[in-house]
Amino acid sequence: MSVDNTQYRAFLEELNDLAEFRLNYSLDNPSSGLEGDDPDVKRIIEALAFFGARTQIASLRSLDSSSKRLYQQFFSYLLTPLAAMAMAEAQPTGHLTEVLDIPVGTELSLQPDRGGRVMFCTTRALRILPMSLASVKQDLGSEKASRLLLTFQANYPLNEQPETVSLYVNYLNDLISSLKVWNFLKSSLSSAKVQFGDYDPDVAGANCDFNLGIPEVDMATDEWHHPLESERYYFHFPQQELYLDLKLPNAPRNWRQFTVILDFDKPWPRALRLNRNVFHLFTVPVVNNQRIQAQPITCDGSQERYAIRHPEPQFGYMLQKVLGVYEASDQGMLPLRPGILAGGNGSYEIEQGAMQEGGGYLYWLIPHYPAAFEQSRILLIDALWQQPWYDQILQNPYTIHAFRRQMQGIQWDLLDDAIAHTENNQLDNISRYIHLLTLMHHTCLDGQNVSDILLALGSVSSGHFQKIYNSLLKVRLEEEPYGDSNKTRQIYHLQFKPLLDDSTELIEPFVRHVGRVLDLWLTDAMVETRWEIEDENNMSIGL
């Protein structure tokens, strides 16, 4: 309902209440002279009704705004929209003559066949060499239960070290099938070795370390995401975890080829046909983010709030997250304090406004700066931005290339359509916020508490994990002492309904990341999660 309709309905309600009051008063006091047909009385009643309606709407809006600002400060990591994400692949061509090191945050420009430029940035570092994955095959003569041979071929003799080779697992662009491969690697991969030159089955090869999943992020250096926000992004785009990282030893000079030998303690699943397209080189998760300062704001004390706008509004950017607010002064950029840390002069709050036509919300800056009455101040906002309108054309043809950087010999592409951005609509009333505040002080959680926390993340109950979340029956807690400290080890057993399709592949990563969420939520406990499935006889099968 629009503001005008809301105001008109409130006006009619006030008018009706005043008419009833006038009628009752006239019946009790016949000599009062408040006749309904008197035009002066009608104008006075209408003016009172209009004033009452405006006051009521303003009061409710102020109360709602104050509540949202308060909870925005407490739970900003839960309320931040999750931007569109995709998996980008860099394909070296014959023109690539050197190693390219692409840092985190490198911008890629995607140009759809209609609409403006869409900006993506990389979420992990990428090292590109002039080489390719030439073949993937099984060594049937090996004594191991299963052995894979991955042969990599350089375009010409190289002296640069391969260092860490990251392989993205992507089976037919299907998440569940890809998870089958990745889960098999995680549970059965026993060793990884490498041979430079032609493969010789009689040579053992040099050991190389391997890691599956997302590398641990140093919380001290990650200025963008709260740890719980990172978990929200996992449930939003779980493909970003499907990596096998191989740390290779030093290569000889002028190497041209090497073979990675992966040994497993279980046979390769027959249902998964092996081909070299299962593993992709030089891929990186990308997110529809741009980090740039908003339009400068001149704060002179004459306004309560100021709209936060992108410097290039023609590209449809909407605010995703404020990273910092600063005052431009002769001494440089002086940071303002968030309202949750300190109030008074030199602090600020962020208020969520109305939903915009292209998607996303308009946000407002509310500075607490009484000194600006005496002398105006220039405020600068460091922020992350997203483009929600891109959700409407995810499947349209496009071209993609590096933005503001020349990369000769590299062709970029997306492995699949991007995942649309997500707004967290689960925290839409005060009672849910208050419930979360109480859960922050719990020392342990029951099944309903766990479900409420997962629901509050905003990306668990929808998307790829919706069926898993809905099949969660109950949570059972075991608690035991942990070491000599005051901490305890809490083991949460998650019981699920039986699933008839391949969705069971999603249960293991779901439970693992739920464990991370609970471990972050319960700061005084060490959390471990396990899972079990209820069979047709209502008996739990532990896994």
The pLDDT of residue 32: 65
Task: Report the candidate in 427, 464, 450 with the shortest Cα–Cα distance to residue 515.
Answer: 450
Q: What is the pLDDT of residue 144?
A: 76
350 located within any domain: yes
H runs (alpha helix) in 311-446: 430-439
Least confident of 5-19, 197-211, 303-317, 427-441: 5-19
Per-residue pLDDT band at 56 (split at 50, 70, 90): confident
In the chain, % of residues over pLDDT 90: 58
pLDDT at 475 over 60: yes
Distance CA 194, CA 171 (A): 24
Give CA 36 to chain center in angstroms: 60
Please report whether residue 420 resides in a domain: no
- Note the pLDDT of residue 432: 85
| Mean pLDDT of all residues in 208-235 | 81
Looking at the structure, tell me whether residues 253 and 337 fall in a common domain: no
Q: How confident is the model at residue 1 (pLDDT cuts 50, 70, 90)?
A: very low
Show Cβ contacts of residue 104 under 8 Å, excluding neighbours closer than 6 positions: 122, 123, 124, 125
Phi-psi region of 23 (alpha: psi -120 to 50; beta: other; left: phi over 0): alpha
Q: What is the pLDDT of residue 125?
A: 93
- The amino acid present at 334, given as its one-letter code, is L
Q: How confident is the model at residue 115 (pLDDT cuts 50, 70, 90)?
A: confident
pLDDT at residue 453, as a whole number: 96
Count of alpha carbons within 13 angstroms of residue 111, beta-carbon side: 5
The beta strand positions in 318-431, using DSSP E, are 318-329, 332-335, 337-338, 347-355, 361-368, 377-386, 398-402, 410-414
- Region 228-253 average pLDDT: 96
Phi, psi of 181 (to 5 degrees): -65, -45
Do 255 and 147 lie in a common domain? yes
- Structure confidence at residue 317 as a pLDDT band (50, 70, 90): very high
Rounded to the nearest 5°, which phi and psi values hold at 107? Answer: -90, 140
The answer to whether residue 80 sits within a structural domain is no
Look at residues 237, 259, 283 and tell me which one is the last residue of a structural domain. Answer: 283
CA distances, 402 to each of 68, 111, 393, 525 (Å): 38, 11, 21, 44
Give CA torsion, residues 449, 453, 458, 459, to 10 deg: -100
- CA torsion sign for 429, 430, 434, 440 is positive
Lowest mean pLDDT among 155-164, 297-306, 466-475: 297-306
Domain count of the fold of the chain? 4
- Identify whether 415 is part of a domain: no
Query: CA-to-CA distance for 73 and 89, rounded, in angstroms?
Result: 37
Contacts of 520 (CB under 8 A, 6+ apart): 227, 228, 231
Question: Residues near 300 by Cβ (< 8 Å), separated by ≥ 6?
Answer: 372, 373, 376, 377
- Based on the fold, state whether residues 139 and 256 are members of the same structural domain: yes
Assess whether 229 and 337 both reside in one domain: no
More confident residue, 49 or 519: 519
Say yes or no: 209 and 228 in one domain.
Answer: yes
264 and 370 in a single domain? The answer is no
Q: Is residue 414 part of a domain?
A: no
Task: Find tokens 């995703």 and name the residue.
Answer: 320
Residue 470, domain CATH: 3.30.70.1350
Q: Identify the pLDDT of residue 525.
A: 87
- Determine phi and psi for 53, rounding to 5 degrees: -65, -45
pLDDT, the chain, mean: 88
Distance CA 413, CA 401 (A): 8
Confidence of residue 282 (pLDDT cuts 50, 70, 90): very high
pLDDT, average across residues 344-371 = 85
d(CA 459, CA 338): 26
> What is the rounded CA–CA span in Å between residue 95 and residue 372?
57
- How confident is the model at residue 371, as a pLDDT? 81
Q: Are residues 42 and 143 in the same domain?
A: no
Grade residue 356 by pLDDT with cuts at 50, 70 and 90: confident
How high is the pLDDT of residue 4? 63
What whole-number distance in Å separates Cα of residue 211 and Cα of residue 82?
A: 27
In this structure, the answer to whether residues 235 and 107 fall within a common structural domain is yes
Within this chain, do residues 300 and 350 fall inside the same structural domain, yes or no? yes
In a domain, 402, yes or no: no
DSSP line for 29-48: -GGG---TT-HHHHHHHHHH
Q: How far is CA 85 from CA 110, 127, 456, in A?
A: 12, 20, 21
Q: Is the pLDDT of residue 181 over 90?
A: yes
Domain's final residue, options 23, 42, 74:
74
When computed from its CA atoms, the radius of gyration of the chain, rounded to whole angstroms, is: 30
pTM for this one? 0.87
- d(CA 119, CA 385) in angstroms, rounded, equals 9
User: Of 255, 283, 311, which residue constitutes the final position of a domain?
Assistant: 283
Q: What is the average per-residue pLDDT within 145-173? A: 94
Mean pLDDT of 195-208: 93
Which residues form the domain of 296?
A: 290-386
State pLDDT tens for residues 486-529. 778 999 999 999 987 888 899 999 999 999 999 999 988 899 99
Which is it for the CA torsion 132, 136, 141, 146, positive or negative?
positive
Helix boundaries (H) for 293-440: 430-439
Residues 506, 468 contacting (CB under 8 angstroms): yes
CA distance 80 to 123: 17
Do 278 and 294 lie in one domain? The reply is no
Q: Which of 81-85, 434-438, 537-541 has the lowest mean pLDDT?
A: 537-541
Considering the domain boundaries, does residue 144 fall inside one? yes
Question: What pLDDT sits at residue 36?
Answer: 57
Q: Is the pLDDT reported for residue 35 higher than 70? A: no
In a domain, 471, yes or no: yes
> 237 near 418, Cβ under 8 Å?
no
* Nearest residue to 90 via CA among 418, 406, 398, 414: 414
What was the pLDDT predicted at 541?
54
Burial (0-12, 13-18, 19+ Cβ within 10 Å), 31: exposed
State whether 359 and 240 are in the same domain: no
Residue 252 and residue 161 share a domain = yes
